[in-house]
Amino acid sequence: MEEKRKMIKVYLAGELFKVPEGSTIMMALEYAGFQLKRGVGCREGYCGACGTVYREKGDYKLQGGLACQTVVTDGMAVAQIPFVPAEKPTYDLEDLTPDVNTFTELFPSVFRCVSCNTCTKACPQDIEVMDYIQAIIRGDIAKAADISFDCIRCGLCAMRCPAEIVQYDVATLARRLTGKYLSKKSPELDKRLEEMEAGKFDEEIKKLKNMPKDKLTKEYYNREIKIS
């Protein structure tokens, strides 16, 4: 016998729909007949394409979430943000230094932050967005990289920021600079790159490339992982 699911009311882009309880916002949109072309991606909470703002019934707070991860509640009003029109500077990492001056040049809006914390409240990843912007203002680029590590670049912070800061692009630059200039260098990596360039693994890669899928799967799950 088919299980009958309870239906709840949600407002999608201003229109009232009844959708099955327990649906994610994305499931609700598709159930209601919306064909998603933008604002949809991996459907697993990793890609950050489905940033959405919503209000729950009886709550005055405007909240942010990922459509693929947020479960609808009765009376919820939802608006998808399919694209964030952010200004994005181009740069060559080789020309930059990992300090505050780089951000003054490329992202001067960072210094407009008034510490309202709206960005943090909008973040579906629970990142302390304001804290990493503040870390950059005081030149602590590595800390900004660390705090922002889980950012999936959905852009909700930038959409809500009254100072028009593009936080997620700022954070991306902080992580790039940290990776290139501030993190501890790994001598093992240099050694392995040399080995790769010298062709040490060519034979093995060739063997894997020509392996039938079932055998490859078996090999993959039986692989040995060495952590030294």
Partner 1 sequence: MKLPYFPGCTLKTTAKNFESSALATAKKIGMELIELDRWNCCGVVSSLTSDDLMKHLAPVRNFLRVQEMNKQEKIKDENRLVTLCAMCYNTLSLSNKRMQENPDDLDKINDFMHKEEEDYHGNVDVVHFLSILKEYGFKKLASKVINPLKDMKVASYYGCTLLRPKEISIDDTEDPKLMEDLVETLGAKVIDWDAKSRCCGSYHTVNNVDIVHRLVQGIIDDARKHGAEAIITSCPLCAFNLDTRQSEIKEKNDDFQTIPIYYFTQLMGIALGIEENELGLEFNKIDPNALLKDLKLI
- Assigned token pair, 87: 């200004």
**CA-closest candidate to residue 102, choices 113, 89, 115:** 89
Q: Which of residues 90-109 bind partner 1 (CB under 8 A)?
A: 99-100
Our CB check for partner 1 shows the closer of 56 and 131 to be: 131
Which of 30, 56, 140, 146 is the binder for partner 1 (CB under 8 A)? 140
DSSP assigned state of 205:
H
Q: Which of 11-19, 28-36, 111-119, 148-156 is the region at the interface with partner 1 (rule: CB under 8 A)? A: 111-119
| Binder of partner 1 out of 72, 113, 141, 166 (CB under 8 A) | 113
Region from 34-42, 70-78, 129-137, 166-174 binding partner 1, contact rule CB under 8 A:
129-137
Does residue 82 interact with partner 1 by CB under 8 A? no
Counting Cα atoms < 13 Å in the Cβ hemisphere of 166 gives: 15
Q: By CB under 8 A, is residue 134 in contact with partner 1?
A: yes
Rounded CA separation 220/68 (Å): 29
Residue 61 within binding range of partner 1, rule CB under 8 A: yes
174 interacts with partner 1 by CB under 8 A? no
DSSP string, 134-201: HHHHTT-HHHHHHHTTT-----HHHHH-TT---HHHHHHHHHHHIIIIISPP-HHHHHHHHHHHTTTT
| Least distance in angstroms from the C-beta of 113 to partner 1 | 7
# of chain residues touching partner 1 (CB under 8 A):
17
Burial of 202: CB neighbours in 10 Å, binned 0-12, 13-18, 19+: exposed
Closest approach of partner 1 to the CB of residue 15, in Å: 29
Q: Is 121 in the site for partner 1 (CB under 8 A)?
A: yes
| Binding string, residues 17-56; x marks residues near partner 1 by CB under 8 A | ----------------------------------------
Assess contact for 67 and 29: CB atoms under 8 A.
Answer: yes
Which residue, 82 or 139, has its beta carbon nearer to partner 1? 139
- As measured in angstroms, the least distance from the Cβ of 115 to partner 1 is 4
Which strand ranges, in their side-by-side order, compose the sheet holding 7-12? 15-20, 7-12, 76-80, 51-55, 63-66
Cα separation, 227 vs 93, in Å, equals 31
Interface ranges with partner 1 (CB under 8 A): 61, 99-100, 113-117, 121, 130-131, 134, 137-140, 162
